[in-house]
């Protein structure tokens, strides 16, 4: 019963803090004390000067001819232009598979697929000199987008399972190098030696090949390091610590030149493959250390429970330990992959014609380009930056998808 | 069983690798039986040829089976090894390689040029990875003993200095305290240091791995002097923005006989390459014509016995023991022409690269050093 | 019940076949893995010896005392082409150490500043630091070095038209020439007395601080140490006849500047590239370390009334150190290993000199072994230091 004399106590309704109005925000974040105010003014000045200089340079005074003159050099190097269809076919295959993965797994694959399709379409639309500006190439680049969608449609069908898509990827990784290299003269696929490959094609091959090969090797090494077989353990530890203690250039140098001495004289390994071996070995050692951290993070109780349930060692490793360990170290592993991608530039030391090397040769190809180092190297840096940033962004999304750190 | 999976898998892989390598070196000369096991182990292909240890005939067999001659060359030196607008390898050194390919395989295009840096030249021919090293290599005794067999000098060069015209330098004595750009891993480097030390002069060495950085730095002004073989200096000067601003000093501080190299251990291949070179030189002799690219077929059809001997179609010039066809030499000439055509194509008065007087590279009939044994 | 136990007993009496017996399998796995690994190593070794014999490659180290015959662009110790290969290698090693040590110092300073900026409350400073970090973490070091060397340092004015800064300091495409104080003949005494003073000052500091902690009295340890240094400096000056140093100014002679302290563009570009690249990573490490300190610490310190600088210095940083030091040391190691990229811009570090030696001496395997061993030694020493530090930290932390 309400009592007329009772007044309800005035309840102060506490509202959540409203978003600060711009002035208030500026006062709080930029000028909250005299030290910060000075810093802010200095920083604003710095940003203004640097920003203006950069923009002025980039859009007005820079001579972008080395880049726009023949952009396709940066993409595929010296690959014979009449065999371009093979690179094109590989690209279509990749677009298709990316679309299929999007259809099957959704989530982050959507960003990848759309990025690839739209990126290539943009590349086809922008006007550029040389071969890239030709109509055929533009049209081809634009067709990648619908092919991606085709893949999506196929991938979202019910009957397509994950193993189909994975199988498709596996086949493509074997097919693409074969397609690019060819079989022999006089056939439909004349041989194109790997010394003719160049540019972004080689960079991607080294990076993706290195990643794919080094990951299982790294996991094996990490498991070997923890194994109870003393010889395997000593070998794994020696290998990991030895490789981690030396710079990548020495490993590349070793695999390129010294390795030929350790193998029987009849074995002649392709230069690109040698560089790939060097990068794989290097990356495997670092991956092994990352995975080791993950293995140590798996609670002992999990292993004991697995044993109690009756799983064998192999099953325990495969079903219980590895999934948890790998999920825990995804940030570190993706970080390692990004490093590997950037480290492909070191292949310049062993005369591999990757993106940076192409930039360097473009500078020397024409007398007028000789002074334009800034333009070329900034362009190369920008390309690497774009790829790396996208990869780290994707890794952050992947982490949230897989629930790293939450479960 | 599960625990053994890992060791078993490694055992199987190891066994595969071991079995693929064939017999260890026996040292005897055996019939070359070539079996090809193509194993896709990684992203590329490895060709494993079961053959005895490097010995007589091995390289030719490998070349024939592979279908091309692998040469280590340059792709960035005007005149000697560079790329034309279509990306095709051209140049003096490259054409020597083409001549061998034409002689051995009948097709001057059956070559693969492997670009190597100056520092990699030695290891690449030591390991036998390439069949010919035709890359501005100076013939020295230590290299002859360590790297491989040096065939015959095709370009007599000397080391010189290039300076800016307005620097006022006219000889080494003016260079005290100067900065000198040079490529690492070359005889150039050593000769430079020795020259300055003998004269008691000081210099600042600016050393780079690849020649393009060396000359880039020189043109930027990073150093006052650059040094290399005079032919290379001429090539670089011709490719500069304003060649007249630069001067190649008339001094020669060392002998640089530039010679193609083949790996140690295979005398047959050594002889083959040498004899192809002899043909190119002998064809220039006016006593035989001279035989040019255009006149090869005419001479083959004519009664010119001397000419036909030089072309190898008269008598046995050794082709049977070398595993070649009698018309191999004619093919080589048809592909690249005789020595003077070869030289003039790139460095003659109408050369497409630059112009460099032949000097010591004149034919011996003109008083130069280019001389070869007869083909007979 | 009885039947099951007797059933169990009869089962126990059956023996496990040897191909399922854990002990046998373990032993077999050990033997097989030993065979594979050791066999593989032997195979490699045999191939190497065979190749060496066949191609006439020498594997010995007898070339170490032969004259090198090649020049090296810069060197900390006296060197010219008549010195032996061993000295050349040493020159390369010292160059690597030079750029690594200076690089580590500078990168730590810059990285700490950027890391602190990254957690600053000032929005714009924070974002600038973010931009710096994201920029340098995502581009390859080699591209950065190329940009700094070919696009910046090589474009400086030629020697005759150098930029002149007060000092005098000259900046041109051949290098940075600083006016540098050098010791006179009597300057040695000054240097020694300064060194002695420094040591005494450190001892004083430590002793007086401990005294203060034990007794509670204020002992003015800072002032005392400063006084010690000043006294020894004045003493040194007096002993060296008031003229311990003379300023070596660079003078243009002929082609280049002589005198003064010269930093070549190769060294400077490598140093700048390495420092800026590694600082970005160090900044992230510092940031992670500081954010790892429990926020409650910060609040408690504020509640007790400490000022911001004091909070940072007395509470946050000592605790953050524990988290920062291990990854920081591995960044130091990365910087040292990354110095091997000097090859691309012409700085004579140990890998570059090694490559030249391989070519000039014709000994690929022994020289390459030397280079690898050098890097391995450096990283081993660094890991040891890190392990020692880790162990020390572990003991001093109270069990939680």
ipTM, two decimals, is: 0.84
Q: How far apart are the first and last CA of chain C?
A: 49
Radius of gyration of chain C (CA): 30
> By the CB < 8 Å criterion, does B213 face chain C?
yes
Q: Do C268 and C303 fall into the same domain?
A: yes
B347 versus C278: the higher-pLDDT residue is: C278
Question: What pTM does this model have?
Answer: 0.80
Q: Please report, for residues A115, A272, B136, C131, C284, the alpha-carbon distance to residue A390 in angstroms, rounded to integers and kept in the order given.
A: 10, 26, 45, 15, 19
**In 10 A of CB B286, how many CB atoms?**
9
Please tell me the predicted confidence (pLDDT) of residue C55: 64
Whether the per-residue pLDDT at B121 is higher than 60: the answer is yes
CB contact under 8 A, A260 and B127: yes
Residues 6+ apart with CB under 8 A from B175: B161, B169, B196, B201, B203, B224, B225, C255
**pLDDT class of A336 with cuts at 50, 70, 90:** confident
Please tell me the predicted confidence (pLDDT) of residue A343: 93
Q: Do C318 and C272 fall into the same domain?
A: yes
**pLDDT class of B274 with cuts at 50, 70, 90:** very high
Whether the per-residue pLDDT at A359 is higher than 70: the answer is yes
Q: Does residue C257 lie within any of the structural domains?
A: no
Average pLDDT of the segment spanning B245-268: 90
Question: Is B375 strand, coil or helix?
Answer: coil
Q: Are B49 and A266 in contact (CB under 8 A)?
A: yes
Q: Do C369 and C232 fall into the same domain?
A: no
Compute the distance between CA of residue C18 and CA of residue C37 in angstroms, rounded to an integer.
25
Compute the distance between CA of residue A330 and CA of residue A311 in angstroms, rounded to an integer.
26
Q: Do C224 and C270 fall into the same domain?
A: no
Q: Which residues does chain B have within 8 Å of residue A190's beta carbon, measured at their own beta carbons?
A: none
> By the CB < 8 Å criterion, does C146 face chain A?
yes
Among C40, C93, C139, C380, the residue to mutate for chain A (most A Cβ within 10 A)? C139
Nearest in space to B353 (alpha carbons), one of B27, B37, B19, B92:
B92
Q: Do C202 and C320 fall into the same domain?
A: no
Residue C110, token pair as written in the block: 């810059």
Average pLDDT of the residues of chain C: 84
Q: Summarize pLDDT for A218-242 with one digit per residue, the tens.
A: 999 998 888 877 888 888 999 998 9
Q: Does residue C68 lie within any of the structural domains?
A: no
Whether the per-residue pLDDT at A351 is higher than 90: the answer is no
Q: Do C300 and C156 fall into the same domain?
A: yes
Q: Which alpha helices (H) appear in B151-210, and where do they start and end?
A: 187-198
Which domains, ranges and CATH numbers included, belong to chain B? 58-156+257-366 (3.40.190.10), 159-254 (3.40.190.10)
Whether the per-residue pLDDT at B187 is higher than 80: the answer is yes
Q: Are C201 and C218 in contact (CB under 8 A)?
A: no
CA distance B21 to chain A (A): 7
Q: Do C281 and C166 fall into the same domain?
A: yes
**Full domain range(s) for residue C222:** 180-248
> In chain B, what percentage of residues exceed pLDDT 90?
25
Q: Summarize pLDDT for C75-118 with one digit per residue, the tens.
A: 888 888 889 999 999 999 999 999 999 999 999 999 999 999 99
Q: Do C277 and C391 fall into the same domain?
A: yes
CB contact under 8 A, B4 and C29: yes
Q: Does residue C344 lie within any of the structural domains?
A: yes
**Judging by DSSP bridges, how do beta strands B132-133 and B76-77 pair with one another?**
unpaired
Residue A222, token pair as written in the block: 């990490």
* Tokens 């540098």 -> residue: C180
**Judging by DSSP bridges, how do beta strands B149-150 and B261-262 pair with one another?**
antiparallel
Q: Are C60 and C74 in contact (CB under 8 A)?
A: no
Question: Is A354 strand, coil or helix?
Answer: strand
CB contact under 8 A, C33 and A44: no
Please tell me the predicted confidence (pLDDT) of residue B4: 44
Residue A320, token pair as written in the block: 């219980």
Sign of CA dihedral B23, B29, B31, B32: positive
Query: Taking phi first (over 0 means left), then psi (-120 to 50 degrees means alpha), and beta for anything else, what does residue A374 get?
Result: alpha
Average pLDDT of the residues of chain A: 81
Nearest in space to A188 (alpha carbons), one of A82, A88, A272:
A82
Q: Of chain B residues 7-26, which have a CB less than 8 A from chain C? A: 7-8, 10-11, 14, 18, 24-25
CB contact under 8 A, C128 and A356: no
Nearest in space to B82 (alpha carbons), one of B211, B254, B225, B214:
B211
> In chain A, what percentage of residues exceed pLDDT 90?
15
Whether the per-residue pLDDT at A22 is higher than 70: the answer is yes
Q: Do C198 and C171 fall into the same domain?
A: no
Compute the distance between CA of residue C235 and CA of residue B38 in angstroms, rounded to an integer.
80
Q: Which residues does chain C have within 8 Å of residue A374's beta carbon, measured at their own beta carbons?
A: 147, 151
Chains in contact with C, counting 3 or more C-beta pairs less than 8 Å apart as contact: A, B
- Comparing A283-297, A302-316, C14-28, the range with the smallest average pLDDT is C14-28
- Comparing A317-326, A360-369, C298-307, the range with the smallest average pLDDT is A360-369
Q: Please report, for residues B113, B289, B370, the alpha-carbon distance to residue B339 in angstroms, rounded to integers and kept in the order given.
A: 21, 13, 9
Please tell me the predicted confidence (pLDDT) of residue B161: 93
> By the CB < 8 Å criterion, does C54 face chain A?
yes
CB contact under 8 A, C124 and A338: no
Q: Which residues does chain A have within 8 Å of residue B2's beta carbon, measured at their own beta carbons?
A: 312-315
Strand-pair partners of B82 = B76, B90
Nearest in space to C37 (alpha carbons), one of A234, B137, B133:
A234
Q: Are A248 and A325 in contact (CB under 8 A)?
A: no
Q: Are A101 and A165 in contact (CB under 8 A)?
A: yes
Q: Are A236 and A224 in contact (CB under 8 A)?
A: yes
* Tokens 């079996």 -> residue: B35
Q: Does residue C125 lie within any of the structural domains?
A: yes
> By the CB < 8 Å criterion, does C387 face chain A?
no
Q: Do C369 and C328 fall into the same domain?
A: yes
Compute the distance between CA of residue A286 and CA of residue A259 in angstroms, rounded to an integer.
21
The alpha carbon of residue B292 and the mean position of all alpha carbons in its chain are separated, in whole angstroms, by: 22
Q: Are B222 and C150 in contact (CB under 8 A)?
A: no
Among B37, B41, B43, the residue to mutate for chain A (most A Cβ within 10 A)? B43
Among C221, C248, C275, the domain boundary falls at: C248
Q: Are B6 and B23 in contact (CB under 8 A)?
A: no
Whether the per-residue pLDDT at B275 is higher than 90: the answer is yes
Q: Please report, for residues A186, A352, B65, C200, C256, the alpha-carbon distance to residue A178 in angstroms, rounded to integers and kept in the order given.
A: 16, 19, 20, 72, 55
Residues 6+ apart with CB under 8 A from B303: none
Q: Summarize pLDDT for B99-115 with one digit per residue, the tens.
A: 999 999 999 998 988 88
Chains in contact with A, counting 3 or more C-beta pairs less than 8 Å apart as contact: B, C
Please tell me the predicted confidence (pLDDT) of residue B3: 44
CB contact under 8 A, A262 and C51: yes
Residue by residue, DSSP assigns C99-168 as: HHHHHHHHHHHHHHHHHHHHT-S-HHHHHHHHHHHHHHHHS-HHHHHHIIIIIIGGGSPPGGG-EEETTT
Q: Summarize pLDDT for A147-199 with one digit per residue, the tens.
A: 888 888 888 887 777 788 888 888 888 888 888 887 766 667 777 777 778 88
Q: How far apart are the first and last CA of chain A?
A: 51
Please tell me the predicted confidence (pLDDT) of residue B42: 36
CB contact under 8 A, C365 and A261: yes
Whether the per-residue pLDDT at B20 is higher than 60: the answer is no
Q: Does residue C253 lie within any of the structural domains?
A: no
Buried b (16+ CB within 10 A) or exposed e, C301-317: beeeebeeeebbeebbb
Residues 6+ apart with CB under 8 A from A72: A130, A131, A132, A137
* C304, HSE (Cβ side, Cα atoms, 13 Å): 12
Q: Do C387 and C329 fall into the same domain?
A: yes
CB contact under 8 A, C71 and B14: no
* A318, HSE (Cβ side, Cα atoms, 13 Å): 9
Compute the distance between CA of residue A250 and CA of residue A256 in angstroms, rounded to an integer.
10
Average pLDDT of the segment spanning B135-162: 90
Q: Summarize pLDDT for A99-150 with one digit per residue, the tens.
A: 888 887 776 677 777 777 777 777 777 665 555 557 777 777 888 888 888 8
Please tell me the predicted confidence (pLDDT) of residue B29: 37
Provide the number of structural domains found in chain C.
Answer: 3
Q: Which residues does chain C have within 8 Å of residue B127's beta carbon, measured at their own beta carbons?
A: 51, 55
Among C200, C221, C248, the domain boundary falls at: C248
* Tokens 């630091």 -> residue: C129
A130 versus A13: the higher-pLDDT residue is: A13
Whether the per-residue pLDDT at C264 is higher than 60: the answer is yes
Q: Which alpha helices (H) appear in chain C, and where do they start and end?
A: 2-13, 22-55, 85-118, 123-138, 141-146, 187-215, 221-239, 265-292, 295-304, 308-310, 317-338, 342-345, 350-361, 364-396
Q: Does residue C173 lie within any of the structural domains?
A: yes
Buried b (16+ CB within 10 A) or exposed e, C210-240: eeeeeeeeebebeeebeebbeebbebbbeeb
> By the CB < 8 Å criterion, does C340 face chain B?
no
Among C10, C39, C57, the domain boundary falls at: C57
Question: Is B89 strand, coil or helix?
Answer: strand
Residue A153, token pair as written in the block: 């449609």
Please tell me the predicted confidence (pLDDT) of residue C400: 45
Nearest in space to C331 (alpha carbons), one of C92, C111, C94:
C111
Q: Do C210 and C282 fall into the same domain?
A: no
CATH number at residue C170: 1.10.3720.10
Please tell me the predicted confidence (pLDDT) of residue B28: 37
Q: Are C246 and C181 in contact (CB under 8 A)?
A: yes
């Amino acid at each position: 019963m309400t009592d007329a004399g009772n007044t309800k106590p005035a309840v102060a309704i506490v509202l959540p803090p409203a978003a600060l109005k711009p002035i208030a925000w500026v006062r709080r974040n930029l000028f909250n004390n005299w030290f910060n105010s000075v810093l802010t003014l200095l920083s604003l000045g710095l940003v203004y000067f640097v920003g203006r200089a950069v923009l002025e340079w980039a859009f007005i005074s820079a001579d972008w001819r080395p880049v726009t003159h023949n952009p396709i050099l940066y993409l595929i190097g010296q690959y014979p232009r009449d065999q371009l269809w093979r690179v094109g076919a590989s690209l279509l295959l990749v677009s298709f598979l990316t679309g299929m993965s999007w259809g099957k797994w959704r989530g982050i694959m959507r960003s990848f697929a759309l990025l690839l399709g739209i990126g290539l379409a943009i590349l086809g639309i922008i006007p550029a000199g040389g071969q890239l500006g030709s109509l055929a190439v533009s049209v081809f680049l634009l067709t990648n987008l619908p092919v991606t969608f085709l893949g999506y449609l196929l991938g979202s069908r019910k009957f397509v399972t994950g193993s189909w898509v994975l199988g498709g990827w596996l086949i493509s990784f074997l097919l693409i190098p074969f397609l690019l290299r060819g079989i022999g003269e006089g056939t439909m696929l004349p041989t194109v030696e790997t010394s003719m490959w160049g540019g972004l094609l080689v960079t991607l091959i080294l990076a993706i090949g290195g990643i794919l090969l080094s990951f299982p090797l790294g996991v094996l090494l990490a498991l070997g390091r923890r194994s109870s077989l003393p010889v395997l353990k000593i070998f794994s530890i020696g290998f990991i610590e030895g490789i981690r203690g030396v710079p990548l250039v020495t490993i590349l140098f070793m695999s390129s030149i010294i390795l030929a001495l350790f193998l029987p004289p009849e074995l002649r390994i392709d230069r690109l493959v040698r560089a790939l071996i060097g990068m794989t070995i290097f990356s495997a050692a670092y991956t092994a250390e990352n995975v080791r951290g993950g293995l140590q993070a798996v609670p002992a109780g999990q292993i004991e429970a697995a044993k109690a349930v009756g799983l064998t060692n192999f099953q325990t490793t495969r079903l219980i330990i590895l999934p948890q360990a790998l999920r825990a170290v995804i940030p570190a592993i993706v970080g390692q992959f990004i490093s590997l991608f950037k480290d492909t530039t070191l292949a310049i030391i062993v005369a591999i014609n990757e993106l940076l090397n192409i930039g360097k040769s473009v500078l020397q190809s024409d007398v007028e380009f000789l002074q334009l180092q800034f333009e070329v190297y900034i362009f190369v840096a920008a390309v690497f930056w774009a790829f790396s940033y996208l990869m780290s962004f994707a890794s952050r999304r992947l982490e949230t998808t897989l629930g790293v750190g939450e479960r | 069983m599960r625990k053994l999976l890992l060791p078993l898998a490694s055992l199987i892989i190891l066994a595969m690798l071991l079995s693929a390598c064939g017999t260890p070196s026996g040292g005897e000369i055996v019939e070359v039986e070539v079996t090809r096991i193509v194993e896709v182990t990684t992203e590329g292909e490895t060709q494993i040829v079961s053959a005895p240890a490097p010995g007589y005939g091995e390289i030719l067999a490998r070349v024939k089976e592979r279908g091309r001659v692998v040469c280590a060359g340059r792709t960035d030196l005007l005149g000697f090894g560079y790329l034309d607008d279509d990306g095709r390898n051209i140049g003096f050194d490259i054409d020597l390689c083409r001549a061998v390919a034409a002689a051995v395989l009948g097709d001057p295009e059956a070559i693969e040029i492997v670009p190597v840096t100056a520092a990699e030249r030695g290891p690449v021919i030591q390991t036998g990875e390439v069949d010919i090293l035709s890359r501005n290599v100076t013939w020295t005794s230590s290299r002859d003993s360590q790297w491989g067999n040096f065939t015959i000098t095709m370009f007599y060069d000397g080391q010189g200095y290039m300076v800016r015209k307005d620097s006022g330098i006219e000889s080494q004595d003016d260079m005290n305290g100067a900065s000198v750009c040079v490529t690492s891993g070359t005889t150039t480097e050593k000769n430079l240091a020795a020259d300055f030390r003998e004269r008691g002069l000081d210099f600042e060495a600016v050393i780079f791995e690849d020649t393009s950085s060396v000359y880039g730095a020189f043109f930027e002004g990073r150093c006052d002097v650059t040094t290399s073989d005079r032919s290379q200096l001429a090539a670089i000067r011709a490719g500069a923005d304003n060649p007249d601003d630069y001067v190649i000093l008339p001094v020669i501080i060392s002998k640089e006989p530039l010679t193609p190299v083949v790996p140690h251990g295979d005398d047959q291949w050594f002889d083959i390459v040498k004899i192809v070179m002899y043909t190119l030189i002998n064809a220039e002799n006016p006593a035989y014509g001279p035989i040019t690219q255009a006149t090869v077929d005419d001479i083959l059809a004519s009664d010119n016995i001397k000419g036909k001997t030089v072309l190898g179609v008269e008598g046995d010039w050794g082709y049977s023991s070398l595993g070649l066809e009698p018309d191999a030499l004619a093919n080589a000439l048809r592909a690249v022409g005789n020595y003077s055509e070869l030289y003039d194509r790139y460095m003659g008065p109408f050369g497409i690269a630059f112009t460099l007087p032949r000097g010591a590279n004149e034919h011996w009939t003109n008083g130069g050093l280019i001389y070869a044994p007869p083909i007979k | 019940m009885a039947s099951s136990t007797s059933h169990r007993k009869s089962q126990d009496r059956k023996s496990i076949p040897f191909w399922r017996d854990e002990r046998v399998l373990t032993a077999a796995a050990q033997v097989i893995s030993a065979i594979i690994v050791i066999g593989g190593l032997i195979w490699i070794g045999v191939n190497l010896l065979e190749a060496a014999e066949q191609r006439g490659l020498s594997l010995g180290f007898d070339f170490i005392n032969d004259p090198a015959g090649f020049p090296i662009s810069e060197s900390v110790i006296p060197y010219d082409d008549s010195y032996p290969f061993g000295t050349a290698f040493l020159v390369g090693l010292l160059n690597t150490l030079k750029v690594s040590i200076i690089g580590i110092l500078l990168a730590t300073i810059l990285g700490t500043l950027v890391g602190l900026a990254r957690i600053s409350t000032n929005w714009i400073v924070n974002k600038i630091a973010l931009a710096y970090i994201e920029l340098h973490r995502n581009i390859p070091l080699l591209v950065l070095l190329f940009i700094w060397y070919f696009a910046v340092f090589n474009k400086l004015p030629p020697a005759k038209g150098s930029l002149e800064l007060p000092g005098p300091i000259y900046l041109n495409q051949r290098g940075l020439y600083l006016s540098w104080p050098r010791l006179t003949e009597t300057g040695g005494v000054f240097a020694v007395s300064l060194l002695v003073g420094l040591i005494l000052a450190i001892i004083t500091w430590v002793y007086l601080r401990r005294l203060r902690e034990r007794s509670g009295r204020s002992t003015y340890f800072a002032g005392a140490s400063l006084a010690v240094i000043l006294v020894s400096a004045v003493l040194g000056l007096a002993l060296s006849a008031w003229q311990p140093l003379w300023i070596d100014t660079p003078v243009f002679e002929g082609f280049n500047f002589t005198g003064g302290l010269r930093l070549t563009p190769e060294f400077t570009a490598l140093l700048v590239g390495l420092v800026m690249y590694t600082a970005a990573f160090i900044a992230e490490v510092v940031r992670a370390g500081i954010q790892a300190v429990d926020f409650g610490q910060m609040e408690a310190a504020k509640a007790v009334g400490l000022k911001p600088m004091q909070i940072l210095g007395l509470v946050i940083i000592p605790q953050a150190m524990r988290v920062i030091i291990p990854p920081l040391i591995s960044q130091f190691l990365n910087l040292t290993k990354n110095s091997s990229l000097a090859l691309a811009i012409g700085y004579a570090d140990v890998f570059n000199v090694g490559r030249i030696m391989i070519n000039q001496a014709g000994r690929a395997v022994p020289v390459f072994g030397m280079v690898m061993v050098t890097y391995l030694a450096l990283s081993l020493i660094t890991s040891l230091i890190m392990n020692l530090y880790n162990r020390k930290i572990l003991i001093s932390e109270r069990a939680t």
